[in-house]
Amino acid sequence: MAYPQMVMYDEEFKQINFVIEKLLREANAKVIFLVDKNGQLISGVGETDRFDTTSLASLTAGNIAATGGLAKLIGEKEFSILFHEGEKDNLHISIVGGRVILVVIFDNRSSLGLVRLRVKKASEELTGIFDRLVRKAEEKERSGVPEFPFAEITDDDIDNLFS
């Protein structure tokens, strides 16, 4: 396989949520979520009920992928920050540690400057957590711990999904 599987454990999930909840408060944001580059939602905090987070995740990843393609065409590695300004709500999208996407939705109770400042700090913390997560997953794979939940899956389990 070209890429290792992305795995999330309880411990890191809590740490990640702690960081983005803090960012939500400090940046006066409405919603914050983390998405992997393939469009899968990792976590979200704030007024997540008001938004279709699955669609947001997929479109954000598409957006990052498309702008990444544009960057390569003009000889840049990637554009690490995107900002979309709306009438009421704004979207601040940034790439964290080269592998995940941090999305901050905010309105006029905050400002782009504040969001950028706080995102920068939170990104450093998140990068550290994701680095540890990758190392942990690699170690588990090396030690061959058979904890994979699907190892005992049967054909019946699969068929039941479609019944």
Partner 1 sequence: MSFINYASREINCKIVYYGPGLCGKTTNLQYVYQKTAPEAKGKMISLATETERTLFFDFLPLALGEIRGFKTRFHLYTVPGQVFYDASRKLILKGVDGVVFVADSQEERMDANVESLDNLRFNLKEQGYDLDRLPYVVQYNKRDLPGVLSVEELRQELNPTGVPDFEACAATGEGVFETLKAVAKLILIDLKKGR
82 contacts partner 1 (rule: CB under 8 A): no
Query: One symbol per residue from 5 to 44: x for binding partner 1 (CB under 8 A), - otherwise; what is it?
Result: xxxxxx-xxx---------------------xxxxx-x--
Cβ atoms of residues 129 and 12 within 8 Å: yes
DSSP state, residue 50: G
Q: For residues 74 and 151, which CB has a smaller minimum distance to partner 1 in the complex? A: 151
149 contacts partner 1 (rule: CB under 8 A): yes
Cβ atoms of residues 8 and 133 within 8 Å: yes
Q: For residues 28 and 80, which CB has a smaller minimum distance to partner 1 in the complex? A: 80
The residue length of the chain stands at 163
Residues in CB range of 56: below 8 A, 6 or more apart: 33, 35, 41, 103
Residues lying near partner 1 in the complex (CB under 8 A) are found at: 1-10, 12-14, 36-40, 42, 52, 54-55, 58-59, 62, 65-66, 68-69, 148-153, 157-158, 160-162
